[in-house]
Amino acid sequence: MLLFSFIAMAYAETAPTKPTKPKPLLDNTIPIAPEENIAKGNIMAGFSVSLVQAEASDLDIIVGDLYDLDGYTFSVDAFGGYFFRDALAAGVRGGYSRTKYTLHFSLLEDIADVDQERKYLSNGFYVQPFLRNCLKLFDSKSIYFFNETSLQVAYSYGISQVDDTEDISKTRTQTLSFKLGLNPGVDVVLVEGFAFETSVGLLGLSSSMTDIEENGEATSSIDYNIINFKVNLLALDFCLVYFF
């Protein structure tokens, strides 16, 4: 009897323990409290405004001279969404952009003697429904990571006029495009309800159709499809977000 007890004790001490499996990443996230910004029933809204101006005169370039450049690009974007579950929201974005510039230059003065003045104006609009999934990786109510899956539908039209001192030509373009993308980012709450947001495009699948009309006559159309796996850290999006 004593020998049997000794053998049983020895087996219990030397028996290998069963290895534990690591938990999935989402199982390690911090629970969402009812009063947090990304809790079910909350609404978020945000906007961003951008203005880029360019102006130059009397510049020497390799193949000619740039006499004058004056232009700008203005854009405004807004979005809103509703958290129908904790950390999961559905919403829509919309935006408008306008580009206008005038360029006067000469090229290859000793060979072709090209002297032109170009004027360009374009306007664009887009609408973009999205689904946002938030992750709370820290025990904090100030930092939320997220990924946004969206489908963008955009339309733009533009007109370009070229004056070469002998003739004036006009080119009109109309473009309809679709883009499916993934946009990860982070929200940092600054004060109660307000947050600073930044995001970057991670993956994009886009399709575009452009019609070109020169001097009142349809001349060509361009269709293309692009799959983009590049991350452009120089094209970060920044905006202010309000949760209520």
The answer to whether position 36 is within a domain reads: no
Read off the tokens for 160.
Answer: 């370009």
pLDDT for residue 90 = 94
Pairing of strands 64-85, 237-243: unpaired
Is the torsion defined by CA of 136, 139, 140, 143 positive or negative? Answer: negative
- 193-219 confidence digits (pLDDT tens): 788 788 877 777 888 888 888 877 777
| C-alpha distance from residue 47 to each of 91, 103, 181, 182 (Å) | 13, 32, 19, 19
- The tally of domains found in the chain comes to 1
Q: Could you tell me the residue range of the domain that residue 224 belongs to?
A: 41-243
The answer to whether position 225 is within a domain reads: yes
| CATH number for 68 | 2.40.160
The answer to whether position 59 is within a domain reads: yes
- 133-144 confidence digits (pLDDT tens): 988 877 777 888
The residue written with tokens 């999205």 in the block is 130
The answer to whether position 173 is within a domain reads: yes
Q: In tens digits, what is the pLDDT along the chain, a chain of 244 residues?
A: 433 443 333 334 444 555 555 444 444 567 778 888 888 888 988 888 888 877 666 555 554 555 567 788 999 999 899 999 988 999 999 999 999 888 766 655 554 556 667 788 899 999 999 999 988 877 777 888 888 899 999 999 988 887 666 677 788 889 999 988 888 888 888 878 788 788 877 777 888 888 888 877 777 788 878 777 766 665 677 777 777 8
Rounded to two decimals, what is the model's pTM? 0.71
The answer to whether position 107 is within a domain reads: yes
The answer to whether position 14 is within a domain reads: no
pLDDT for residue 66 = 53
The answer to whether position 135 is within a domain reads: yes
The answer to whether position 90 is within a domain reads: yes
pLDDT for residue 240 = 73
pLDDT for residue 58 = 53
CB 155 within 8 A of CB 125: yes
CA 75 to CA 82: how far, in whole Å?
Answer: 25
